[in-house]
Amino acid sequence: MWGFDDCCSRYQTSDGFMYNHVTKNASPSSDDNLQKLGFDLDVGTTQQSNASFDDATVIASMSDRLSLLATVKNQATEISEQIKGQINIPNVRFAASIYIACRQNGMALSIKDISSVADGAKQSKITSAVRSVVDKLGLPPQLMHIRAAEFAKRYSTDLQMNSQAIKAAEEAAERCTDHVNRSRAPSSVAATVVYIISQLSYEKKLLKVADIRDATGLHENTIKGTYKDLYPYLSRIIPTWFANANDLKRLRSP
């Protein structure tokens, strides 16, 4: 009966003699190497594809939490793929991609809004990433900035104000540029304008500062402080087609 192991084979004949026979493993052929290389490439391609799929899944989840349209979601995924080698922190890259996709579609979501669904990504990191991407992709620099009028439209729409009030809020926010402290953020100006317009509106439901706070995420003191800044200029800011001088007198003094 014969017996053997892998490297050194020992044979025993029926008459009891033992023979050692050392064999060398056959070196892999070039075909084997090519096959192995091809296999590795397939694995690499699959891993890369899976990573892209995972990225798209995370971006979709973040976008859904922000109630974004599918077109914005898909655009954010494409941007993320373009900048993959440039921004190494995934959540920062996803957030920056979503912000830029929103801006390209005329949506006024702030970096603060987007960071709230970015699982710990800092606003400063996202801001820096957006600047870097805007430069790399040759996008218009104004994508970095959201005007007060854009925020006003978003806030008043979210608060379900009527079309006239929304239009008045946009118009008033646009006029605030020359009449407000430049240290005031556009979102603060917009929120305050929306509050003022709601007080002048003939709709039955008047919004309180707390309602604006809840809708915008801004502190009440910020809104009240901006109201104090704007109050002396209301006759220049509020469209006359929406409210006249007598209407403005109904507003409380800060």
Domain ranges of the chain: 51-144, 148-248
Count the neighbouring beta carbons within 10 Å of the beta carbon of residue 12: 13
Residue 199's alpha-carbon distances to 87, 171, 203, 207, 219, in angstroms, are 45, 16, 9, 7, 19
| Angle ∠(246,247,248) on CA atoms, nearest 5 | 90
Determine the pLDDT at residue 37. Answer: 39
**CATH superfamily for domain 51-144:** Cyclin-like (1.10.472.10)
| pLDDT for res 6 | 44
pLDDT in tens, 104-120: 999 999 999 999 999 88
pLDDT per residue as tens digits for the range 52-108:
558 899 999 999 999 999 999 999 999 999 998 889 899 999 999 999 999 999 999
Within the chain, what is the greatest distance between any pair of CA atoms? 124
CA separation for the pair 165, 24 (Å, rounded): 88
25 in Cβ contact with 46 (< 8 Å):
no
**Closest Cα partner for 196 from 176, 219, 217?**
176
Superfamily for domain range 148-248: Cyclin-like (1.10.472.10)
pTM over 0.85: no
Task: Supply the DSSP string of 74-141, one letter for each residue.
Answer: HHHHHHHHHTTTT--SHHHHHHHHHHHHHHHTT----HHHHHTTSTT--HHHHHHHHHHHHHHHT--G
Residue 182: per-residue pLDDT: 77
Which of 204, 147, 201 minimizes the C-alpha distance to 170?
Answer: 147
Question: Which are the contacts of 147, defined by CB distance < 8 A and separation ≥ 6?
Answer: 173, 174, 186
Among candidate residues 115, 215, 209, the one with its CA nearest the CA of residue 160: 215
pLDDT at 183: 81
Q: Are 151 and 191 in contact (CB under 8 A)?
A: yes
Task: Collect all residues with Cβ–Cβ distance below 8 Å to 154 and sequence separation of at least 6.
Answer: 107, 108, 109, 190
Find the DSSP H helices in the chain. 30-65, 70-82, 90-104, 111-115, 123-137, 148-158, 163-175, 186-200, 209-216, 220-230, 234-237, 245-248
DSSP label at 208? P
Give the per-residue pLDDT at 54. Answer: 86
Query: How many residues can be counted in the chain?
Result: 254
The per-residue pLDDT for 71 is 95
What pLDDT, on a 0 to 100 scale, did the predictor assign at position 207? 84
- Structure-token pair, residue 177: 């540029």
**Residue numbers in the chain where pLDDT is lower than 50:** 1-50
